[in-house]
Amino acid sequence: MIIVIKSETPQEEITRINQELINTWRVTPEAIPGKHKTVIGMIGDTIDIDPLLIQEISPWIEQVLRIEKPFKRVSREYRHGQASEITVPTPNGDVCFSEHHPIVIMAGPCSVESEEAIVYTAKRVKAAGVKFLRGGAYKPRTSPYAFQGHGESALDMLAMAREATGLGIVTEVMDTADLDGVAEVADIIQVGARNMQNFALLKKVGAQDKPVLLKRGISATIDEWLMAAEYILAGGNPNVILCERGIRGFDSQYTRNTLDLSVVPVLRSLTHLPIAIDPSHGTGKSQWVPTMSKAAIAVGTDALMIEVHPNPAKALSDGPQSLTPEQFDRLSLEMSVIGKAVNRWESPVISSLGVQ
């Protein structure tokens, strides 16, 4: 249940309303400030509360609405239709994820393999307009014999890449035991598809304040995905970015997964959270990544996560879906055309790199 407060309501009255909610109905009020109005979310057992009784608390209450969806804090109604704006500090300045801001590009290798390679890749993608370097320190793999990532040493390499370029860092956490170490380096903590319903992990990342990139599970419905996000918001962390990375279909001969771009307008109607698309995992083949990246921009994504590797043929994981730096340069120029057309592009992309 949410309470919409009239504009220009005195702060003392908002404080009084909050106290009345606590004393009378034993719920926890949660203020959601907006550009023009304040919304108060009522957290707790509100099933038997009559909205008309809430309305009588104060003449400054404009409207009382019941949220019918199982996901409460995640729902668009919870913010009275307003989109979230998640601001992430980086050495190069603050970056905002929101439907009202330029599209944010995150790029880098599937896994961190060496200091030389990750620093080189970071410089190349930065020159092409990227704001965040993605790279896995801990890798969930189907086979126990496949490369699992370098772990803590890879986190050190990511820190070196950030120092060399000023890019923000996105990297995955797989285990609650690793969260503190990952959070020391990451500017955005990724929860991967295989951990989307690892509820112990969701609670832990919800209890810390770093933004979370939550990938959709391999076979997850939209409601299951949003309920996973609800765990994080319920833990106290409102800064969640939803990332579509393809779902398992019945035809894996031509693409690794089925990239569900229709999820962008669907999510826009359901949630206030920013939306990202991962066309690399979504297709599994580098030749399809440029087309789906541009399509994602056209349908309204707020961010893209694209895999880039200096030599995909020798990559220790996900080489077939990774672009070379040269391919990524060309894609960046093509994306800028679409991005400008939809008024979501920040600046011209540099095509002549000259990385040392």
pLDDT tens, position by position, 246-265 = 999 898 889 999 999 999 99
Does the pLDDT of residue 295 top 60, yes or no? yes
Which residue would you say has higher pLDDT here, 140 or 309? 309
Q: Average the pLDDT over 269-288 and give the result.
A: 97
What the block records as the tokens of 302 is: 């707020």
Q: Residue type for 58, please?
A: S
Number of domains making up the chain: 2
Residue with tokens 């994981």: 317
Same domain, 99 and 244: yes
Give bridge partners of residue 29 from the DSSP assignment: 42
Whole-number mean pLDDT of the chain? 93
Does the pLDDT of residue 145 top 90, yes or no? no
Q: Which pLDDT belongs to residue 353?
A: 46
Residue 286 is given by DSSP the state: G
Of the listed ranges 19-23, 64-68, 158-162, the least confidently predicted one is 64-68
Give the C-alpha separation, 264 to 318, whole Å: 25
Of the listed ranges 27-36, 179-188, 202-211, 283-292, the least confidently predicted one is 27-36
Please report, for the domain that includes residue 43, its CATH number: 3.30.70.1140
Same domain, 270 and 128: yes
pLDDT in tens, 70-87: 899 999 999 888 899 999
Domain membership of residue 267 (yes or no) is yes
13 to 6, 10, 29, 48, 132: CA distances (angstroms): 11, 5, 14, 25, 42
- Strand 86-88 relative to strand 28-33, pairing: unpaired
pLDDT-derived band at 273 (thresholds 50, 70, 90) equals very high
Beta strands in the chain (DSSP E): 2-5, 28-33, 38-43, 61-65, 86-88, 95-97, 104-108, 132-134, 168-172, 188-191, 212-215, 240-244, 275-277, 303-307
Name the burial class of residue 252, with classes exposed (0-12), middle (13-18) and buried (19+) by CB atoms within 10 angstroms of its CB. exposed
Residue with tokens 């920040």: 346
Same domain, 29 and 160: no
Domain membership of residue 295 (yes or no) is yes
Same domain, 182 and 43: no
Please report, for the domain that includes residue 318, its CATH number: 3.20.20.70
Same domain, 33 and 169: no
Q: Which pLDDT belongs to residue 46?
A: 85
Domain membership of residue 52 (yes or no) is yes
Domain membership of residue 126 (yes or no) is yes
Name the burial class of residue 315, with classes exposed (0-12), middle (13-18) and buried (19+) by CB atoms within 10 angstroms of its CB. buried
Angle at 208 between CA 207 and CA 211, to 5 degrees: 120
Q: Which pLDDT belongs to residue 351?
A: 43
Does the pLDDT of residue 355 top 60, yes or no? no
* % of the chain surpassing 90 pLDDT: 79
Give the 3-state secondary structure of residue 234. Answer: helix
C-beta separation of 319 from 308 below 8 A? no
Same domain, 113 and 35: no
Domain membership of residue 18 (yes or no) is yes
Of the listed ranges 40-54, 149-163, 313-327, the least confidently predicted one is 40-54
pLDDT in tens, 298-348: 999 999 999 999 999 999 999 999 999 999 999 999 999 999 999 999 865
Domain membership of residue 353 (yes or no) is no
Same domain, 115 and 176: yes
Residue 256 is given by DSSP the state: S
Q: Which of 66, 98, 120 is the last residue of a domain?
A: 66
pLDDT-derived band at 354 (thresholds 50, 70, 90) equals very low
Domain that holds residue 38: 2-66
Q: Residue type for 158, please?
A: L
Domain membership of residue 114 (yes or no) is yes
Domain membership of residue 226 (yes or no) is yes
Q: Which pLDDT belongs to residue 352?
A: 43
Q: Which pLDDT belongs to residue 35?
A: 67
Same domain, 92 and 204: yes
Write down the pTM of the prediction.
0.91
